[in-house]
Every structure is written in C-alpha cells, then in structure tokens.
Amino acid sequence: MVDLSDHAIIQRVLSGDVEAYARLVDRHYARCVRIAARILGNREDAEDAIQETFLRAFHALGDYEDRERFSAWLTSILVNQCRSQLARTRRREAVFPDVDPLDVDWTAGDGTGASPWPELEHALARLPADQREALVLKYADDLTYQEMARITGAGESALKMRVQRAFARLRALLREVPSV
Amino acid sequence: MSDLELERSVSAALHRDLPVDERAKARIMSRVREASHAAPRRHDFHLRRGTRHSIVGLALAAGIGSVTTLSALLPAPASADASVSSVVLGDTVVSTLRDTLRLVRLMFADPEARRVAVVGDFNGWRSDATPLVREPGTSHWSVTLALRDGQHRYAFVVDGTRWAPDPSAQRRGMDDGRVYSLLNVARATN
C-alpha cells in the first residue's frame, strides 16, 4: 500500500473517503497512547481521551491547516482532552490517590515486557500534573519548547522551568524509593 | 545517577511504546463512521435515513458516480440586484447586505435528479430554501445566488436525500463528518 503523507490522507478524507481516516488512526494511535497514558496515569482514561481526540480531529479536519504538523495539531487536541479528563476525575494535583502506578500496565507494546525502570515509572507518576505533562511532551513526543508552548498555552521559559523542576522532583522521589 | 543519565533514562522510559488495544482503534473508526452519517449538529438540514441514502450519499460525498458539477461565478456587478437577491436570501438579509452582494451562479448536472437544491451557511442549510432550476432539455440544473463577500460553505442536495459537495470546488471542508464545499466571494474574483 502506498505510504501516503498525513496531508494526502487528510485530503482523501475531506473528499469523502471516510475510511482513509483509519490510516491516520493507525499511524498516530501508539504515540497518543504513550502521551495520554503517561499524563493521565491509567489506560482506561487514556483510551477515552484518545477516542475523543480522534473524533474531534475528524470533525475539525476541515479547519486543519498544513502549515502545522498534523501530529502536533493532534497532540494539542489530545492534551486538551487529557486536561478535561483530569479535571473530570479531580486528579489534577494528585493523579494516583488510590492507584499505585506500579500496578498500572506499563508493559511495553513491542513485547519486550515490563519496564526496566520501575522506580522511575513510579516517580514519574507522582510528579505534579503540569510538570509531568511538560516532561511527557518533551520526551515522549520529542516536541520543541516552541511547539510545547503552542500546545499548552504556557510560555517557553515557564515550560523549561517545569521540566527543570520535574527533574529535581524526580531526583527527590528516586531517593525515597528503596532499590529493588 | 548524573543529570545526563537521569535525562536519558526518562527519555527512554517515556519513549517506550505501551500496548495498543486494536479494539480501541476499531471503536474510534466505528464512531467516526457514525459521525459521518449523522446530520450536522449546527445545521437545520435533515436527511431521511435509509440504506439508499447511505450508499448513494457516501458515493456522492466521495465524488464517485455519475454526478458532475459545474460551478461558475458571473462577473461581479457594480451593485447587487435586490430583485434577484430576494428570491434566494429573503428580504431581511438582502436589505442589510445589498451593498456587498455579488451574483454567483451554481450549476449542477445529474441526468437522474428530480430536484436539486443548494444548502449552505447563506440559507441556514435548509434544503427547501434554494432550489435549482433544470435547464429545459438538459440534465443541467442552476441557480443564481446573491452572496455577500467572504467565504461560504455549501453543498447540493439531490432529491431531498442525497448530500453532494461540489467536486469542482477548489476547497472543501468537513463539519460533523459531512463534507462541504467552500466558495470565496469577492469583488471581481472568486
């Protein structure tokens, strides 16, 4: 099958080929899981947010302008959905009041098994929501600070500070976790 | 652990792909298909639901089938003719916009159509508001609209049930899963 660009697929969808949208879902789903599951801390909420994201993107496809990368545009919708989900579940400040992040299935999708960094996963899940979001966007999605600023609405310097604080907090959390 | 080592570990941990539930992807496409069949929420246009509509409507939306469409802009007049405009838009709209109205002629060809209408943001997406007239002895349908300057969204409705964007339009968009055509109206250009 021809490997169409995101832009070409979008043009097909806009021409009425609704099934072509499945290729965009296939192409970007795993990345969305990586982002949403880390931001929200559980797969169920993440899948709800992702489903809503792809549906909203479909509805808004006519407004998408290709001067922006489709992946970044999709991520901006996803981040908004994750924030709404967090607000709905009242977990903005403490994402895991009842759920131990070590119980969340962080098994890799490539069949390589459980995470080799269980303490780190634990610490990441305990970061404040804004710091975790910044860290996820920077390292799970490889976004630039400029792209992160556009997506989150925060300034670049504020985002750099969040990432810096996230690392400081991670260090503190990792010192608290006894070695396995 | 050094700062660099910590950053590398964080990057590696966050880059790891998590399991993908294929059923979740299927659910997304199921909802997308539903949305593509649903009537637009912000529009008043209502289609009769049925197998015939679904199949034919999708084919038309995809630009497939025997329908061909011709659209053209007439040269913009110095001032719009209110008598023409009132047929299309109604007196209220025309009276407030007459200084910026342009005449636009839309043409549509379908030998099997019994009636054709244009719906758009200029007539509230009402399928009974702006019928096209068949040119005698041909399969061509046309209507002249008086539109204000700016961008307009529109589509054709055939026999009251089939939604068809204009395949000859330069630009298209989608709202609530329904594809529409975009028309830019401006002085002496489209």
A144 contacts chain B (CB < 8 A):
no
**Taking CB atoms and an 8 Å limit, are B20 and A29 in contact across chains?**
yes
Q: What is the dihedral angle through the alpha carbons of A152, A158, A159, A163, rounded to the nearest 10 degrees?
A: -140
Q: Which pLDDT value is given to residue A94? A: 45
pLDDT (tens digit, 9 = 90+) per residue, B55-81? 223 323 333 222 223 333 333 333 333
> Closest Cα of chain A to B34: distance in Å?
10
Q: What are phi and psi of B154, to 5 degrees?
A: -155, 165
Reported ipTM: 0.80
Candidates B17, B67, B151, B171, partner chain A, best to mutate (most A CBs within 10 A): B17
Terminus-to-terminus CA distance in chain B, angstroms? 64
Q: Give the pLDDT score at B188.
A: 52
| Residue A171 distance to chain B (closest CA, Å) | 8
Q: Is A62 close to B174, i.e. CB distance below 8 A?
A: yes
Angle, in degrees to the nearest 10, between helices A70-88 and A129-139 = 160
**pLDDT tens digits for range B2-19:** 888 889 889 998 888 888
Chain B CB within 8 Å of residue A168 CB: no
Give per-10-residue mean pLDDT for chain A (180 aa). Answer: 82 84 95 92 88 91 78 92 80 44 51 68 88 93 90 92 94 71
Q: Flag if A58 and B35 touch (Cβ within 8 Å).
A: yes
Nearest CA in chain A to B177: A59
